[in-house]
């Protein structure tokens, strides 16, 4: 194959480089032709906007907003919008490509996209966040659309943010357009089960992997990094499966209890206090120590690049299930593989969220709403099937679950592109 290998990661980690290394590796194993490789390498569209917002003190502040559509080969592009101070274009590009691979792995008819605004939502008022979100929606009016590009929540955004996008877009379109966005509040056409969907998918993936490794949930311990929507619900559902959750963490630090943390108490604590700061249900440890704990299962459900060449060697878990997007830098993959750790990769493990987003979009277009039981049953089926497909590919190609997931995804997008004849 002639295409050039991406430059190796030297010191500063960049999620786009991690994504590209895996894409390259899987393309090579798959024997992807050069023109398809080149076509899938770069996003179809990268839009950057500046967003002037009147702040509560009367001053105007200008924010930077992004939407990257990586691919629309399998259908309208799909992916969340992230509000965080660290948002930058390369990160959004990586996250957009991951959405393409994620939707392809679970077999839903979407391409991949991601958006982000460089802001600190924790320090902004509701009014400021609303004005920012409406300005962003107006700026992206030609990008978003129920048949074109459909946002959803991600880090720093929530159902309220989606309600503002839905309202602003509907005003511009002159017609109520609930299907332009998913993860909406229930009363606005959201789906039952959507809030829990990513955590539920993490739980289903963990159970599938534990069965392959012949691990018994009742005798297993687990550490969960991150206690936002994904981390807290994953922890709760894994606890309900019988695992003992011995450590949890958030921005305030990590909390360890060898007898298991009471997850309901932790969730209640965060509801009252906004973070785990001051939580007494466990001893304080650092986030780095959490990753290296002697547990059976590790669920990184926070940020990118948490497991790297620096700490991969110290990880003791037998199984890692990636609730976050990109929590493992590509330079750590080899070390984890050599240690015999089974890694259920992000593009598979956290795909429960976008799967139920798809159900929400379907329900909006039908104008007919499903019971929670139906949503969960169908989402579980998608996740189990996707796990089995990736596991089978990992055996067929003799590669890690991560490389196998990329192979399954790239193969699907590449063969669809060929049929459509678009490069
Ligand atoms: N932000 C979520 C993710 O990274 C959900 C995306 C969606 O539902 O469109 O998968």
Q: Is the pLDDT of residue 54 over 70?
A: yes
HSE toward the beta carbon, residue 344, CA cutoff 13 A: 37
Position 421 scores a pLDDT of 84
Task: State in Å: Cα 149 to ligand 1 middle.
Answer: 13
Do the domain assignments include residue 2? no
Edge-first strand listing for the sheet containing 60-71:
45-54, 60-71, 111-118, 77-84, 149-153
Q: What total number of domains does the chain contain? A: 2
pLDDT of residue 82: 98
Do residues 86 and 113 both lie within one domain? yes
Domain boundary among 320, 349, 378: 349
Query: 123: which residues sit within 8 A by CB, 6+ positions away?
Result: none
**Domain edge (last residue) among 145, 163, 188:** 188
Q: Are residues 210 and 333 part of one domain?
A: yes
Query: Is residue 258 assigned to a domain?
Result: yes
Residue 411 belongs to a domain: no
Q: Is residue 332 domain-shared with residue 244, that is, in the same domain?
A: yes
Among residues 315, 349, 383, the one where a domain terminates is: 349
- Ligand 1 center–CA 419 separation, angstroms: 27
Shared domain check, 321 and 299: yes
Return the ligand 1 atom nearest residue 155 CA: 1
Pocket lining for ligand 1, CB < 6 angstroms: 78-80, 152, 154, 182, 325, 350, 353-354, 357
What pLDDT digit, counting tens, does each position of 374-411 carry? 999 999 999 999 999 999 999 999 999 999 999 999 99
Judge whether 272 lies within some domain: yes
Instruction: Please choose from 67, 80, 196 the residue to mutate so as to test ligand 1's pocket, defined by most ligand atoms within 8 A of CB.
Output: 80
Does residue 363 belong to any structural domain of this protein? no
Same domain, 202 and 326: yes
Residues 144 and 251 in one domain: no
Sorting pLDDT into bands at 50, 70 and 90, what band is 7? low
pTM: 0.95
Let me know whether 57 and 181 are in one domain. yes
Under a CB-based contact definition with an 8 Å cutoff, are residues 293 and 309 in contact? no
Residues 230, 122 share a domain: no
Please provide the distance, in angstroms rounded to a whole number, between the alpha carbons at the two ends of the chain: 18
The verdict on whether 114 is a catalytic residue reads: yes
Residues 226, 295: one domain?
yes
Query: Does the residue 374 lie in any domain?
Result: no
Active-site residue (options: 73, 78, 102, 114): 114
Mind listing the pLDDT tens digit for each residue in 138-182? 999 999 999 999 999 999 999 999 999 999 999 999 999 999 999
Residues spanned by the domain of 246: 197-349
Both 345 and 296 in one domain: the answer is yes
Residues 179 and 86 in one domain: yes
């Amino acid at each position: 194959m002639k295409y050039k290998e991406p430059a190796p990661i030297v010191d500063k980690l960049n999620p786009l480089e991690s994504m590209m290394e895996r894409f390259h590796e899987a393309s090579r194993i798959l024997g992807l032709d050069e023109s398809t490789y080149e076509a899938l390498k770069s996003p179809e569209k990268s839009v950057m906007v500046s967003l002037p917002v009147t702040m509560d003190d009367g001053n105007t502040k200008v924010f930077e907003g992004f939407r990257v559509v990586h691919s629309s080969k399998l259908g309208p592009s799909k992916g969340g919008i992230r509000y965080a101070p660290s948002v930058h274009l390369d990160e959004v590009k990586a996250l957009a490509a991951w959405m393409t691979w994620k939707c392809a792995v679970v077999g839903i008819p979407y391409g991949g996209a991601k958006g982000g605004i460089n802001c600190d939502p924790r320090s902004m008022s509701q009014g400021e966040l609303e004005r920012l979100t409406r300005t962003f929606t107006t700026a992206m009016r030609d990008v978003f659309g129920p048949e074109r590009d459909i946002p959803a929540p991600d880090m720093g955004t929530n159902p309220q943010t989606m309600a503002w996008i839905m309202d602003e877009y509907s005003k511009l379109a002159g017609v109520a357009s609930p299907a332009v966005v998913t993860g909406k509040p229930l009363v606005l056409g959201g789906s039952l089960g959507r809030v829990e969907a990513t955590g539920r998918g993490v739980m289903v993936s963990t159970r599938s992997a534990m069965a392959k490794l012949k691990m018994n949930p009742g005798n297993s311990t687990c550490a969960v990094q991150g206690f936002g929507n994904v981390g807290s619900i994953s922890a709760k559902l894994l606890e309900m499966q019988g695992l003992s959750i011995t450590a949890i963490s958030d921005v305030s630090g990590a909390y360890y209890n060898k007898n298991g943390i009471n997850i309901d108490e932790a969730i209640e604590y965060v509801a009252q206090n906004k973070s785990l700061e001051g939580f007494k249900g466990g001893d304080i440890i650092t986030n780095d120590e959490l990753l290296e704990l002697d547990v059976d299962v590790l669920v990184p459900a926070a940020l990118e690049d948490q497991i790297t060449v620096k700490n991969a060697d110290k990880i003791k878990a037998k199984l890692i299930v990636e609730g976050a997007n990109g929590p493992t830098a590509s330079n750590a993959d080899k070390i984890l593989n050599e240690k015999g750790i089974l890694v259920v990769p992000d593009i598979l493990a956290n795909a429960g969220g976008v799967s139920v987003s798809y159900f929400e979009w379907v329900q909006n277009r039908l104008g007919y709403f499903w019971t929670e039981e139906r949503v969960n049953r169908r989402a579980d089926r998608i996740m189990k099937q996707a796990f089995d497909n990736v596991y089978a590919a990992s055996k067929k190609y003799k590669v890690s679950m991560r490389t196998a997931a990329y192979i399954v995804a790239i193969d699907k997008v590449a063969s669809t592109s060929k049929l459509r004849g678009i490069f």
